[in-house]
Amino acid sequence: MPKTPTVYDVADLAGVSIATVSRVFRKPHKVSQATKDRVNAAVLNLGYVPSGSARSLAARRAGAIGLCFPDFDGIDGGPAPIVYADGRVIEQLDPPEDVEPSGDLYLSEVMLGTEIEAWRHGMAVTIAVARGDEIFDNLAGRVDGMITLSRTVPEGLLAHIARHIPVVVIAGTRAGDDYDHIGTDNVAGMQAMTRHVVDAHGVRDLAFVGGPADSPDDHDRFEGFRMGLHAEGIELPSEPLLRGDFTRSHGRMLGRRLVEAGRVPRALVCSNDQTALGVLDALLATGLRVPEDVIVTGFDGIDASQTSRPRLTTVRQPMRELGRAAVDTLLRRLGDPLMPPQTGTLPVTVLLRESCGCLA
């Protein structure tokens, strides 16, 4: 890697000015074909690649969108053992035990949606994990706008950043802030699910298995549950029966706890799929039948809900569309900074499968 060539080198080699080189890239129609050919030849010849930093600086726009995710707890298991060699190879034939599934399809899907939509608009996507102030240092300064999951960035920091670039929050409820918000209809989805269990399966003994108490998603879903019960004239609980942390292993634990306590309701409406799958694991392990003895429902619509036995009745939220909608909103905001704060809600779909007794 010798010295990186710049516009100046290209201009020299092509016998034109740097302005012309720049124009070949930015406004090709303003350059004659002959000149374009000469410049392009020089570009190829030198291996020239325009500097994004310089371009962004001069053009006063980064051409990138920031995506800020919560820290991947515990995922950071240290570096892998790399075998740098030719021939040296490790064959492991032993472990018949299983690996833990890589939970967060949710994030992956949102990421994918963001990526797709951003790319459609010629924007790059820069990903960051919220960890201390690095978002501030490393991300906020290099993007035109930021998308973040709710509760990911400390409020003070986010406010500071929002003075600088527009911020779109995914999956949170507005709390007096001025950010744009994109979410799914947790309330309506869970309400519909609840009423389905009551109406279609005649169950009036339902309980809600929740997630973290500080999750706005969980809050809304519980609210939807309560609204569903209310509509059916069933008495409302003020709190979820139990709370987990949205993981499958916590779900298993909660399931076991219910069985041990000896009071398993006729239907368990869970706040997300992972929890529901864990509950399912626990119930089945103790010999209970789903849906015959206990009905279990989830929320999210992750792939695993489709391959479980029985398959999980759940509310599918369009995770990929979430990222997509966030990008659209961000771009509209960039186009019109004065627009009032937006709140977008994506519709959800109730998927009826075996775990509630449908398709049985």
289 binds, among its own copies, DNA, none (CB under 5 to 8 A by kind): none
Is residue 142 part of the contact set for DNA (CB under 7 A)?
A: no
30 binds, among its own copies, DNA, none (CB under 5 to 8 A by kind): DNA
CB of 264 or CB of 301, closer to its own copies: 301
Query: Per CB under 8 A, which region of 32-40, 213-221, 257-265, 305-313 contacts its own copies?
Result: 305-313
Q: How far apart are CA 202 and CA 39, in angstroms?
A: 75
CB of 241 or CB of 318, closer to its own copies: 318
Residue 71 makes CB contacts below 8 A (sequence gap 6+) with: 129, 130, 131
Please, are residues 254 and 244 in contact by the beta-carbon 8 Å criterion?
A: yes
Is residue 249 part of the contact set for its own copies (CB under 8 A)?
A: no
Closest to 221 in 3D by CA, of 67, 29, 84, 350:
350
Is residue 340 part of the contact set for its own copies (CB under 8 A)?
A: no
Please name every residue paired with 208 in a beta bridge, in sequence order, or none if there are none. Answer: 269
89 binds, among DNA, its own copies, none (CB under 5 to 8 A by kind): its own copies
Please, are residues 182 and 166 in contact by the beta-carbon 8 Å criterion?
A: no
Is residue 300 part of the contact set for its own copies (CB under 8 A)?
A: no
Is residue 124 part of the contact set for DNA (CB under 7 A)?
A: no
Residue 314's H or E segment, with its range, is strand 314-316
Helix axes 105-120, 319-335, angle to 10 degrees: 40
Residues numbered 29 to 88 that lie near its own copies (CB under 8 A) are 44, 47-57, 62-64, 72, 75-76, 79-86
119 binds, among its own copies, DNA, none (CB under 5 to 8 A by kind): its own copies
Please name every residue paired with 147 in a beta bridge, in sequence order, or none if there are none. Answer: 67, 168
CB of 131 or CB of 257, closer to its own copies: 131
Q: How far apart are CA 92 and CA 351, in angstroms?
A: 40
38 φ/ψ angles, rounded to the nearest 5 degrees: -60, -45
Q: Which residue has the tokens 């792939």?
A: 303
Is residue 351 part of the contact set for its own copies (CB under 8 A)?
A: yes
Residues numbered 14 to 33 that lie near DNA (CB under 7 A) are 15-20, 22-23, 25-27, 30-32
Is residue 59 part of the contact set for DNA (CB under 7 A)?
A: yes
Token pair listed for 159: 């406010």
Q: How far apart are CA 6 and CA 25, in angstroms?
A: 13
Is residue 99 part of the contact set for its own copies (CB under 8 A)?
A: yes
Using CB under 7 A as the criterion, which residues of the chain lie in contact with DNA when the complex forms?
Answer: 4, 6-8, 15-20, 22-23, 25-27, 30-32, 34-35, 48, 50-51, 54-55, 57-60, 141
